[in-house]
A and B are shown apart, each in its own frame.
Chain A
Amino acid sequence: MAEHILLRDLDVPDIKAFDVYVQHGGYEALRKAVGMTPAAVIDVVKASNLRGRGGAGFPTGVKWSFIPQSEPVKYVVVNADESEPGTFKDRQILEGNPHQLIEGAMIAAYAIQATAVYIYLRGEFWDIAANLDACIEDARKEGLIGPDVLGSGWSCEMYTHLGAGAYICGEESALLNSLQGLLGQPRVRPPFPAQKGGGLYYEATVVNNVETLTNVPWIITHGAEEYKKIGTPESPGPKIYCLSGHVAKPGNYELPLGITFRELIFEHAGGIPDGKQLKAILPSGASGPVLPATDAVLDTPLTYEAVAQIGSTLGSASIILMDETVNVAWAASKMMKFFAHESCGKCTPCREGTYWLRRRYEALLDGRAQARDIAILDDVASQMTGVTLCALGEFAVNPVRATIKHFRADYEAWIKQEAAEDKKAAKPAPAREKAAAR
């Protein structure tokens, strides 16, 4: 794409400033939206088949249409918790193109006739929040936020709120609790956030990711048909891919959904440095199952369906690459440490399972593990599958099960090392030192 739809700061350096944003067509979409009926706005977004960029890929227009119009109090909550390892796309939007998010959030709010928008940011984004507050103030001065938005008779406030540093608070129901000042633990569903009783302060609420909402102004301006020309029919639109790890040019890439891993990694991001071989791909940070870098995988298009078909998830497209020097079992231990640290502890399988798995990985890396520990890791993870209260518990098993499935040899290397030491035989150490030195 010559011109960016989301990361417009790359085309217009100062677009973060209100005036510059307006000069470049900013807030025209909101103007257009408030001239339509709320239902018509939802219909356009539905027709565009925009899917949630927070990870689950749920159709945004459908989500909005769940909100019961009869409820007097409704909210839009913007999920800016961006905590997935390897994800840094929302940050660039918030820093570089904040007004487009604000505009998208206001259009969402209009579509469901919300009374307020809350932007929940991860605690480390305090400087971003301060800037966002200033942006909101600018927009409010122009009558774009607040009482009687653009003379439409509809009023809506917008607030920012900082979290306190927990991955689980990106999960929407835990986020709502945290926003309400409660312990950041997920809620039992139903009721879902869109239902009375399930949302913010138990009112019907739409929760959307930053990137999702940043798509919305463009869709309103250009229409659903234009939007669907980008990407694939099931996964339309642009996507910001976050590339990190062993890649020549890490960073954010705004490209259509549906390009292949190979195009993304080798054509756009400069391939793997130092002439090394790509070994493994984490397509969705720590949460999605790892993929071996086979040709079949590399030629898979980056869409929600295609990545699911090869046994992983596109998630928020936080793509972490590992070259041949990485022992994937070691990488799995890092991810497990993350999940054990971030499990909220509310439900038994995730609380106990992540702790147990972390301890076994420590044993593995300390050379205390035996062959049967691979089976125990796999068993414990499978025991957590499908029975947890929220998706974090489901995510947490992926680093274990997928890495054992695809890279069992890396596990065995750790265990053999122990056997080797026992025999005092000099054998090349597995990837531990090299990996650890990274």
Chain B
Amino acid sequence: MTTTVTIHIDGVPYAVPDGMNLVDAARIYAGVEIPIFCYHPKMKPVGMCRMCLVDLGFEVRDRATGELALNPDGTPQVRWGRKLETGCTTTVRAGMYVRTRTEQVQEARRDVLEFLLSSHPLDCPVCDKGGECPLQNLTMRHGPGTSRMAYDDKLHLDKHVPLGDLIYLDRERCIQCARCVRFQDEVVGDDVLAFHERGRRLQIITTSTPGFDTYFSGNTTDICPVGALTTADFRFGARPWELTNVPSISPHGPVGENIALSMRLDRDSGGVQVIKRVIPRQNEDVNEIWISDKTRFGHHFTLSPDRLREALARKRGELTPVALDDALKAAAKALKEAGNSVGFIGGPMTSNEDFFALRELAAHVGSRKLGLWPATLGDAAPAAEVGIASGSRLTELGKGDAVLVVASDLEEEAPIWFLQAKQAADRGAALIVANLRETKLDRYASRTVRYGLGGAVGFLDGAASDETLAQAANLVVFVGNEGLGADEHGVLLRAAANLLITTGHAGRRNNGLIPVWPGANTQGGFDLGFESAATRAMLQSAPDVLIVVGADVAETPAGAAALDAAKFVIALSLFPDATTAKADVVLPIQSFAERDGTFTNAMRRVQRFYTAQGPVGESLPAWQVIGLLGQRLGMDRPRRSAALVMKALAESVKLYAGMSYPALAEAAVQTPPIGISPGFYGGTAAAPTGGTGLQWPSKAESRAKLSVTPVEAPQAVHAGAGELVIVPLRRLYDRAPEFFASAVMHGRIPQPFVALHPSDAARLGAVDGGRVKLSAGGASLDVTAVVDATAPEGLALLPQRLAPGAFPQEPVAGRVEPVAEAVAAD
């Protein structure tokens, strides 16, 4: 435990933790703002900008007796330093005295600001940062009113330097604080930015091809203390004071990144409120102040012209636009005829309110077929038992702790957890990465484990005897489903629970299982009784009516077949897709940006998102569409607001007891406070306004007796002669409409490909860059072959949702055949 020491700041004593950074201690414990540019609490101090200079002294003690030397008036004598010191590189210790307001300190600040502005272009009126710029703010507070720099002496540099296709650099605005470089080095581990040259010519360059190649580039534009870094998406898009930041939650992935949607009435979009940018919203329990580029740039689907705007119903075999009422009428009719032979499938962006409405409808019609999409997942019971304990923080893991990642490519599936696992390893935690192939996290692993297809369960089952894991002070286990069949995934999750129970880690803070689910609300679906296994059962034998919400069931051959087999399909969707094409009634629903709702992340944190923009066409929130359908079947009329749905949900679902919208809107204090409204550390992360969510406790936390359930690995898929096992992979950037609508990302989304081991490629006659045809389970895909030595022999690694067409989403034996290239005649 850290001890507390007393330091004096501007004459006032404060008790602060020993060894804390002085800038942080002053801000947090004394409310004293030592101005900074280069320092950032998420990165190591570098002492570059010299803005944080303070007068530093120490109390004088008699060498022999150790007693305090006193002035004649009885006050302790203080020996002040010869020069000012940088606060950001100072750690507090007992007997320290700090002066932050002396004439000398104020002059130093004025001087540094005059220097920083000497060659600054002062193009604030057209600068993205203008209005929320630390350089502006600190100049107003501490700077000189004028400069003595002769105008002609100013240095002129390039103002439009694309560092990649997402981030632009204005070299004139850069104040060489190295926050961007350090973020990439220290936080991300992709050291793709660097300083080039020296002196006044010191400038930021990218060292990667393509430029600024990382999944986290946008964060540098947040932490850049000036407008030197801007995103291709937002650049010149709006002035900060025109923007209203609406709290929200990323709809992409299981992390539940807290975000704010910066909204503006936009002329170019027809005078309606639109998302101009997505920024992180501070939540130290979840994403700190970081978001992935997918979350930042993947919002364009909300206003995509491809969105469904009106209801469709089949007329003479053709899907035809109809009035919403007519569509509901047709759907209700089919439901009435089906009795209880009705199945429900909810997709990855389906909110808790939507799931709850589905559940109520199911109860009304007497169906228990509550399915979750994708159909490839095990169950959530292990996570409910030993899921990471409430209040845990991945940012606290370090020396003595262990992080185990099994069957997941964390950077692709949950980029923020990748950062946090990497940084835990940097702080000294043992990081063990087990998978059937190499992934990027291996770079930071203290140990990597390679198993063959079907070997994950065996590995995890034996892991309790591993000393590092058994003796770790804290143990966090991430379990994904890469290379696993659905049953195997369930067994693997159970094996993880066994490990945590056996080693005595279950139920303790900073310990537990984190399932790397595919969707933003997969956990919420499970919590409300929806199961991936139930979906599999429906694919086996389809109910008469299938209600599909935000799930492209037709993306697998089995799903497509089930849609065909069902007598009537009702699809609630954002986009027309292969599933809506097979539906009898299609109902447009609203995206996360157009409505209120909650997602539960994979750490069981229930988090609110708020209405930011107007509805697209006639779309409604899914819960309301379902409610209207229910009304036609004799249920009460739908509730009037999402808040009321949540109220009912919290009353009927025990895990969510007390999770009313007002309770979820409460914001936990963030330390250090980085978000915009405290404004101190500079940067465009939002404050936690709108709530930081509530976590439901895992069973282990209640000291319930937990028992180990022996596991057995199911039979692994075997490839027959001439076959490979085709293993689907989840990649961050795919061609699903919820992401592909962001044209700004197209340069980063790969062409459809399959990765093959060189020996397999040679055997099959596939060449790197050549086209191959994959066929399995009656489906086939046309993709490009990538010969990759890191691909395990015998496996064909197939990123999902790149190629158009249905294909199995579990490992499957299949053929990979080169396609004869048409001789280029035209």
Contact = CB atoms under 8 A, between A and B. Distances in A.
Q: Do A and B bind each other?
A: yes
Given A347-B47, A347-B49, A387 B108 contact: yes
Contact of A386 (B84, B149, B153, B202): B84
Contacts of A353: 115
Interface string B299-330: 00000000000000000000000000000000
B116 interface: yes
B48 interface: yes
Contacts of B195: 183, 185, 345
Nearest to B201: A345
Contacts of B250: none
B112 A356 contact: no
B150 interface: yes
Contact of A166 (B47, B50, B115, B198): B198
A37 interface: no
Given A188-B89, A341-B199, A349 B111 contact: yes
A388 interface: yes
A383 B150 CA distance: 17
A359 interface: yes
B84 A387 contact: yes
Given A166-B198, A354-B200, A359-B153, A349 B112 contact: yes
B175 interface: yes
Contact of B114 (A344, A383, A388): A383
Given A344-B199, A348-B112, A387 B176 contact: no
B200 A389 contact: no
B668 to A, nearest CB: 33
B150 A345 contact: no
- Specify the main secondary structure of chain A where it touches its partner: helix
B153 A345 contact: no
Nearest to B155: A355
Contact of A345 (B47, B83, B198): B198
Given A343-B200, A387-B84, A363 B50 contact: no
Interface string A339-377: 011111111110111111001100100000000000010
Given A188-B45, A352-B118, A387 B200 contact: no
Contacts of B51: 348
Contacts of B155: 355
Band of interface residues on B: 35 or more
Contacts of B175: 348
Listed residue (B115, B118, B175, B199) with the most chain A CB atoms within 10 angstroms of its CB: B199
Contacts of A415: none
B202 A387 contact: no
A345 B199 contact: yes
B150 A363 contact: yes
Contact of A349 (B50, B198, B200): B50
A389 B50 contact: yes
Nearest to B194: A183
Interface in B19-55: 45-51, 53
B595 to A, nearest CB: 47
A102 B323 CA distance: 92
Listed residue (B45, B51, B89) with the most chain A CB atoms within 10 angstroms of its CB: B89
B148 interface: yes
B119 interface: yes
B655 to A, nearest CB: 47
B199 A342 contact: yes
Contact of A352 (B47, B53, B119, B197): B119
Interface string B147-181: 01110010100000000000000000001100000
A387 B199 contact: no
Interface in A314-350: 340-349
Given A184-B198, A352-B116, 9 more contacts: A340-B199, A345-B198, A346-B48, A347-B50, A348-B51, A349-B50, A351-B176, A386-B83, A388-B50
7 contacts: A341-B199, A349-B50, A356-B149, A356-B153, A376-B148, A387-B83, A389-B47
